[in-house]
Structure 1
């Protein structure tokens, strides 16, 4: 497994290296030792507590979601199909604050995305169906959910396909400016 850095501080792309032959393939989808070394903290891999999976239809956008308080670290991969995965840095004081990146995750490259606390996260399904697997470092608490509209003009996110199905929660998500009003710049967290 190889690890690459991104333009956003602390965000990593993990690249499994599958073995393929006439039977198909085998790949290690996670390696705690390699992950811990890449993050620079022994035992970081053991902090993951919950795994979830979603299935989305072509064009579906899920996001842009985040967590208030101390945030949430996650490891994201697409086990079936392909998605465009998008992150926005919402860590006040970060060199990447307000910046975004987009990374294609799919079932051919097996690329994973490590998302540290302090990011909005969302994706759009690029194939007929896409299964996305999330591994997070603490149990989900809906009282800490935050969101920003996927089509907010101030964020200027570009989605490659026409928007397909979207949840009511995402349709009614607040604007980037509303989120900025909530940011607690003295502690680098959202309130």
Structure 2
């Protein structure tokens, strides 16, 4: 696999080795030893799967306390996936990085603890899978406003207004969320 650093230290784009032929393809999406050798010695405790129509925006979510690291990928469709640095001590605090993940490019994205995470679906019937390093704890979940002007995420145009949940519509400004040390 190939590890690609992003503009913010921490989040990583992971390009797995894909073996293809006339029958289709094979790729390894998780191997604890290989990831540890690449510096990602991770233990996952929960896997999640969502399906969304084009234009659905989910995020920007995080847990504090009980932060989750997330290894995310798309198995059908495409998303624009975003991580926002919520570590107050980081020189990149409040900055974001985004990457397109799709069934075609087969990339994965590592979002470490201390980051808000979300995505915008770019195609109908997009399947999004993620492995988490900590269990979901509803009372620890928070949402950073997906459109906070201080963060300034530039979401790609989909031709429709983003479809968001009531919870995500009430996301807080960066100045009001419980950030990390």
Q: Under TM normalisation by the shorter chain, which class is it?
A: over 0.9
TM-score, normalised via structure 1 length: 0.88
2:107 aligns with one of 111, 135, 139 = 111
Per the alignment, residue 9 of structure 2 pairs with: 9
Higher deviation after alignment, 16-25 or 154-163: 154-163
Q: Which runs of 5+ in 1 are unaligned?
A: none
Per the alignment, residue 154 of structure 1 pairs with: 150
Secondary structure of 1:132 counterpart: strand
Q: How does 1:20-99 map to 2 (within 5 A)?
A: 20-39=20-39, 44-45=41-42, 47-99=43-95
Q: Are 2:101 and 1:134 equivalent residues in the alignment?
A: no
How far apart, in 1, do the equivalents of 2:59 and 2:39 lie? 25
1:164 aligns with one of 162, 165, 173 = 162
Measured after TM superposition, the shift of residue 37 of structure 1 is 2.1
Measured after TM superposition, the shift of residue 26 of structure 1 is 1.2
CA-based RMSD:
1.4
**Cα deviation digits, residues 87-123 of structure 1 (max 9, x gap):** 1000111122111001001111211111110001000
Q: Which runs of 5+ in 2 are unaligned?
A: none
Kept after mapping to 1: 8 A contact 2:11/2:83: no
Kept after mapping to 2: 8 A contact 1:50/1:139: yes
Q: Would you say how many aligned residue pairs link Structure 1 and Structure 2? A: 179
**Cα deviation digits, residues 2-32 of structure 1 (max 9, x gap):** 1121111121111112111111111111222
How far apart, in 2, do the equivalents of 1:77 and 1:147 lie? 21
How far apart, in 2, do the equivalents of 1:156 and 1:65 lie? 16
TM-score, normalised via structure 2 length: 0.93
